[in-house]
Structure 1
């Protein structure tokens, strides 16, 4: 197993000791489900030891053919492989769960496999925080507002400036004005305010006496309230911006969950692809010594004049072709490992090579399409996000419909004032409320024709109808997509079973062909037997490699499709024991009645316009099915590990057989 030590900024892979890996397998452990050593006896080795006398005596009838110099080649012409491509680095066993855990904990940037390469997702784990901050900003719309000002003035006006001609004295004074207002908007659309608003100018006579109306200080306290009665009235309209901001924050959480689903599925896909590449390479490594042994025997026969140079060239061609495929297989292993390293957030080179050790699922599962669609409607992030988008459109439609109404406001103003030679005298007079003024009335305004409001309502209506149609079509597309995935899964498993049968048959063919090639008939028999045996042996080698490669690829494809089926239902994270902090599923289920309590809007302003359609059935959350509820609960024998916005449920240590079962049994029946 692999030991993962998590620190704050670094993930250290601590490698426990293990034994040496076997030289080869008769069947790949991925295909057979267990590790079995090869039982096929090797041909005579290539250290110079000649075949036995029986084989040597049968090599007769050789002839030499000239070979042009342009085709001459030496054995040392092949360039040596680099350390990376030769796979000489130390192996490091890697479990699928550890790969997923590292991928989720190493970076806040989501990466997925797209078009064969690693791509950065448009959504990051910072986006919900950004939308949450914007939601908090929208909530500040009803916060009280305090405004205050102080203005100091020095007045020096020429004669005859005060009241026009008649006062020949110039006006000189120092004036200080202080105003303050505290206002508060309410969810009903009302606005209330209280302010200290003394008049900034008053009747002043230059050089007036104290018994004249010549105050030094004036004060005024004003209470004002305004309540819309038609446009902008009611909590439904005024709270719509807040609810829209909250719904957009919920959408962002669902987008992150969708990207995380794709990330986990991508890690699994890269994991199984690397394992399939290693299976192909194991088949190449198993066959390549046998192919080179055929070349050695043909060269020995040519030296004994029992084979032509064409026979040697034919065997060499087969060997070179196998070596080319072997290089491609090594290159594929390195490519798949680099993809997995990128998804896991590891370094490009760290002195080890990753070797997947978890056994893939080799059992067939039958998935019920109806239950899968129900799970997808309930848990699939893109569908829930679109349902939230429809709810946003409904709120915007309500606001636009309210905009058709005229502006009719009820206004009330109450003012109390005070004046005096001293500030305290003025405030005392103000506090006595002896000199008060009040105003009560209505204000009305409406645009003639109201074309802008009608156009806005029409636009919001069409957007609502469009989003509902898109949601219906998206739900239908998910149903077809799940059916395609189920079909591909069943087809891949059926192909894998056939490929596995081919592997078993080619092993038997290869064993028999090798025995025929290594044990010639008695002298004096048919002289073409060795050539026929060679052809048969080479065909067996080729078929064995093809069958093993196909079986490995199909098994990886099958396990990837199982992950895609779970991703398409939106239950991949739950089935892997992964929980997101602030999981949007809980919030939506908690506020489902408020979020999706849709009322079909009916247009009143125009009879020739179609009303918005009634909410579709998929717009309301469905009660989770029994099997879906079971998957939402974490296993009882796992403990949560909080890291980078995730709770990863750690599996307990146990025997290797129980830890190798990474695929939860989330299907209706087993075939």
Structure 2
């Protein structure tokens, strides 16, 4: 029996687990650094980063409606034909035509164009008209006056592309705030895991000390030997708890490292400052900030704008098509190109035309159906906006309640640690006097461990509640000085593809 006890004492004195103190190569990281690294490196957020760049390209494409269009035509034809039926004489005709022009859309929906037609003709008849050049310069403008009139209708593709870009930026910001919140939660999970590991190490040391004291008292004959089994079980139980705590620390560290996409060797060591002060705000003020800044509401308002804009455009497109077209030009004629252009430049032979073009599909079913659909979509977007506003207000109220509860829990947890510490000391004295058993003492020590872990959890949970509150109001990125705009996000996405 004595040999078994000696071996057990030697085993209990050996260090079974490495220290969790910061080792060489470990990196001290504050929560602000963790959030910054998450927003910069997290792969899920990087996927979202491409959307603003894609929609920005869509805006440039939509603005292409104002690109000037250059047209050109080169046409050469030859034709051999009899002068008269049965005649052996053939008339050989040659045509050469080179036309060029530019055309551009204007914001009112009209189209302006300038064209130069350069025609040349020759035949084999040998008359004064057998060879001539016929250049022509013309200016044209076509303007819709009902359907298609106005800048809003003309630039509807640009407007909707800009709305799409704003939505993608709001989606990115929402994802970034969620990523920052998750980074904070993972950071404090690691903080709790490391602190709890230290608490469990200290608990194991206390259990070993109690067991060694029991051995000495049993040898001295002042303690019943069965209590030695209680202390031995206490050591084994705490070794099991320590193994679980070590695993929890490693998993938390690994999870945070992967989330931050940290490739450097060494483990992250959370650096936690003093407890943040209680946030001084009111429910009304917090909700007002959230209604102004939350990305979900930004997206919903853009949806209302897009829906109402599309309804307005559809109302115009349901009108009859009526357009005014006008052309003014000048023509020249000469035996050569030079004479023809000189004649055209003199302006002796102007020409012009004015026309009205009208069309309207009987029933107009397609346009009216589109108008009705867009009207319904606009109404749907307005209802969705009200729903998101209520959800955001509820989130803010929930976050405020959690903030207040977590703050109060810190003081309760501190008192719990103090009471549990006094209780453990009392049981330790009573156990030495024989007024309490080893099991009573170990139970008191377990309650002290639970109280310490509760305090660590309360401190971490309050910090997480602060982060969640600022996420609920849409201020989380701003609080960490991480304001972004669409251009910088799009630029980051393009760099990733080069």
Whether these two folds match at TM > 0.5 is yes
Q: 1:288-342 CA distances to partner (integer Å, 9 max, x unpaired)?
A: 1111223334455666777777544433332222112111111222222223323
Change (3 A) 1:293 1:546: same
Q: C-alpha separation between the residues in 1 aligned to 2:240 and 2:30?
A: 30
Q: Who is 2:139 aligned against?
A: 223
Q: Who is 1:315 aligned against?
A: 231
Classify the secondary structure of the residue corresponding to 1:179. strand
Q: CA deviation at 1:376?
A: 0.7
Q: CA deviation at 1:84?
A: 10
| Alignment check: 8 A CA contact 1:509 1:540 kept | yes
Query: TM-score of the superposition, structure 2-length normalised?
Result: 0.87
Among residues 16, 20, 34, which one is paired with 1:99 in the alignment?
Answer: 34
Q: Who is 2:496 aligned against?
A: none
Q: CA deviation at 1:410?
A: 0.7
Classify the secondary structure of the residue corresponding to 2:147. coil
Among residues 118, 124, 128, which one is paired with 1:207 in the alignment?
Answer: 124
Among residues 500, 524, 537, which one is paired with 2:441 in the alignment?
Answer: 537
Q: Is 1:469 aligned to residue 392 of structure 2?
A: no
Q: Is 1:557 aligned to residue 473 of structure 2?
A: no
Change (3 A) 1:308 1:189: same
Change (3 A) 1:174 1:295: farther
Q: Who is 1:356 aligned against?
A: 270
| Alignment check: 8 A CA contact 1:287 1:541 kept | yes
Classify the secondary structure of the residue corresponding to 2:85. coil
Q: C-alpha separation between the residues in 2 aligned to 1:389 and 1:470?
A: 9
Q: C-alpha separation between the residues in 2 aligned to 1:231 and 1:400?
A: 10
Q: C-alpha separation between the residues in 2 aligned to 1:152 and 1:316?
A: 107
| Alignment check: 8 A CA contact 1:360 1:556 kept | no
Structure 1 unaligned residues grouped into runs of 5+: 1-46, 52-73, 112-119, 522-528, 585-642, 646-671
Q: CA deviation at 1:536?
A: 1.8
Classify the secondary structure of the residue corresponding to 1:385. helix
Q: CA deviation at 1:220?
A: 2.0
Classify the secondary structure of the residue corresponding to 1:483. helix
Q: 1:482-504 CA distances to partner (integer Å, 9 max, x unpaired)?
A: 11111222222333332221111
Q: 1:569-601 CA distances to partner (integer Å, 9 max, x unpaired)?
A: 1112222233324699xxxxxxxxxxxxxxxxx
Q: Who is 2:299 aligned against?
A: 385
Correspondence list, 1:175-574, <5 A: 175-198=95-118, 206-211=123-128, 213-299=129-215, 311-347=227-263, 350=265, 352-361=266-275, 363-365=277-279, 367-517=281-431, 519-520=432-433, 529=435, 532-574=436-478
Classify the secondary structure of the residue corresponding to 1:578. coil
Q: C-alpha separation between the residues in 1 aligned to 2:415 and 2:482?
A: 37
Structure 2 unaligned residues grouped into runs of 5+: 494-498
Q: C-alpha separation between the residues in 2 aligned to 1:644 and 1:303?
A: 73
Q: C-alpha separation between the residues in 2 aligned to 1:490 and 1:583?
A: 39
Q: C-alpha separation between the residues in 1 aligned to 2:492 and 2:314?
A: 41
Among residues 47, 53, 61, which one is paired with 1:137 in the alignment?
Answer: 61
| Alignment check: 8 A CA contact 1:253 1:583 kept | no
Change (3 A) 1:306 1:179: same
CA RMSD of aligned residues (A): 3.3
More RCO (CA 8 Å, sep 6+): 2
Q: C-alpha separation between the residues in 2 aligned to 1:169 and 1:512?
A: 135
Classify the secondary structure of the residue corresponding to 1:426. helix
Change (3 A) 1:167 1:361: farther
Q: 1:106-128 CA distances to partner (integer Å, 9 max, x unpaired)?
A: x3xx45xxxxxxxx248533332
